[in-house]
Structure 1
Amino acid sequence: MKPKIIFLHGSGTNVDIFRIQTRHLSSLLAPHFQLIYLAAPHPCPPGPGVLPFFEGCGPYLTWMDDRSPEKEHAYWGSGGGGGDANEGAGVKKALGGDEDGDGVGQGVVGVVGFSMGAKVGMEVVRRLEKEYEGGGAIRVKIMVAICGTVPFGGGGGDEDGAREKGWKESLGKGLVSAESVHLIGERDPWRGESEKLVQFFGEEGRRVLRFKGGHHMPVEDAVNRQVVRMILAACQES
């Protein structure tokens, strides 16, 4: 069985759209890994750049309401139990990351997340690492964050410093020890958040690749091949 890599799409898209968006990267990874695309749970309007190219390709989905740090915090909850306050556990369960999980977790070595999917992936990997230290079964070796947004950043203004306070509080929960690759578009309107997301990963194992583009998957063959080399190197380590 090939090792598995999980793909988490951005807000306002879906699995089918993300397969198209990641076609260059996935074609290079497919000979080495089983690629698994997970769908977000909530319907929403189309995301930035989705229209008009993906007109009629809905339903468009999102992982959470992250328009404020408070709304996003409600998505993740405090762990344990069920209900709306812990919807974030759904991704972890899909990976087999809890006691009741019968998902795809066995053999998962990497996570690729775009935009909101990147910060969801970061949080899931961080939680799985804590469980692994306590005897859990899943050890994610590498996280690829593409145009990622920052946890607890909120989507509104910053008049009261809530966004700054929110992401720093999340950062205070600890760093991700897995290796990471951060693809940051030089013209991405959310570039500042992508730069902040880098800080959630240990300095020794993180790599930052900046590409000439906006909030989208890089299409350059050289960039995608470099990412694949990094993933293979991380997964070949003991």
Structure 2
Amino acid sequence: MHQTFAHTPGKPGLLCLHGRGTSAMIFDIQLVRLQRVLSPFFNFVFIDAPFESEPGPGVLPVFEGCEPFYSWTPMEAQWYEGIMNEKSLEVVTKELQKHEAAGMEVVGVLAFSQGTRMAAGLLHAQETRERGHKLLDSNEGEVSLRTKFKFGVFLMGSWPPLVLSSTDKEMRRISIPTLHVVGAQDQWRNNGCKLKEEYFNQSNAKFMELQVGHHLPAKDEETLMISEEVLRLWNEAMG
């Protein structure tokens, strides 16, 4: 039986963004080892992407019968398109508003595979807003993006980031502290490397390579390595 980690009042939250062709429920299961270690420190906030899709890589047969599966981009979108869909922004901001209205401070974003594109876009939007620049081509969504992420965790990343405006063709590098975990046997390893190297300030972006494929690590020592880095990012953010 899958262990469910209940939210605890007073603990900060981590927004968890799943990969293409999975779901919040599946990502909850995939992150169970990491949650066991980090649940004393954080609440984990899972959310379904808005677009139904075919199952992602490696989802079947393990999660047979766990439909529907979701994606952060519409099925007809080309993978290299880098504009965040309004529906994706809407489901994320509504979830953040709900938990923050209940008193939970969401301090970090933790994402896997395609979810890292969404996470990078959210961090980029935050820094754009903090510089006093306009976020969108219209005013839609301006008010809802009030969360201040202190750090980001990118697991088996993808690229390019999903940014909010078509004017963001030349992205300024993201300076918010981050951890980037890639798998040495991941067939999309270079995507995670490219995300870190091209879109993040390297002095604030920690790189970690594990001997795994395109999935979360199963070994306790690898889970602990990630957990220690997440806690380092949080402790440094707290000063």
After TM superposition, the score normalised by the length of structure 1 is: 0.79
Q: Is the 8 A contact 1:132 1:138 kept in 2?
A: no
Q: Percent identity?
A: 29
Equivalenced residue count is 207
Deviates more, 1:11-20 or 1:143-152: 143-152
Which residue among 155, 162, 174 is the counterpart of 1:146? 155
Q: 1:45-66: CA deviations, max 9, x gaps?
A: 1111011111111111111035
| Residue in structure 2 matched with residue 69 of structure 1 by the alignment | 80
| Residue in structure 2 matched with residue 104 of structure 1 by the alignment | 99
Which residue among 184, 194, 198 is the counterpart of 1:196? 194
| Residue in structure 2 matched with residue 15 of structure 1 by the alignment | 24
Partners of 1:58 and 1:171 in 2: how far apart? Answer: 35
1:1-238 equivalences under 5 Å are: 1-65=10-74, 66-70=77-81, 72-73=82-83, 76=84, 86-94=86-94, 96=96, 102-105=97-100, 107-134=105-132, 137-151=146-160, 172-199=170-197, 200-237=199-236, 238=239
Cα distance change, pair 92–61 in 1 and its aligned pair in 2 (3 A): closer
Q: Give, as a single letter, the amino acid of the residue that structure 1 aligns with 2:125.
A: R
Q: Is the 8 A contact 1:69 1:152 kept in 2?
A: no
Q: Is the 8 A contact 1:113 1:144 kept in 2?
A: yes
Partners of 2:168 and 2:60 in 1: how far apart? Answer: 32
Unaligned runs of 5+ in 2: 1-9, 134-144
After TM superposition, the score normalised by the length of structure 2 is: 0.78
Q: 1:109-163: CA deviations, max 9, x gaps?
A: 111100000111111111022224449753212111111111169xxxxxxxxxx
| Residue in structure 1 matched with residue 137 of structure 2 by the alignment | none
Aligned to 2:98, the other structure's residue is in SS state coil
Q: 1:16-73: CA deviations, max 9, x gaps?
A: 1111111111111100011101110111111110111111111111110352434x53
Partners of 1:91 and 1:170 in 2: how far apart? Answer: 22
Aligned to 1:52, the other structure's residue is in SS state coil
Aligned to 1:103, the other structure's residue is in SS state helix
How far residue 7 of structure 1 moved from its aligned partner, in angstroms, is: 0.5
How far residue 91 of structure 1 moved from its aligned partner, in angstroms, is: 4.8
How far residue 88 of structure 1 moved from its aligned partner, in angstroms, is: 3.8
Q: Is the 8 A contact 1:9 1:15 kept in 2?
A: yes
Q: Is the 8 A contact 2:13 2:42 kept in 1?
A: yes
How far residue 228 of structure 1 moved from its aligned partner, in angstroms, is: 1.6
Q: Give, as a single letter, the amino acid of the residue that structure 1 aligns with 2:93.
A: K
Partners of 2:216 and 2:168 in 1: how far apart? Answer: 26
Q: Is the 8 A contact 2:50 2:88 kept in 1?
A: no
Aligned to 1:28, the other structure's residue is in SS state helix
Q: Is the 8 A contact 1:43 1:59 kept in 2?
A: yes
Deviates more, 1:19-28 or 1:133-142: 133-142
Q: 1:85-114: CA deviations, max 9, x gaps?
A: 533422552364xxxxx3335611111100
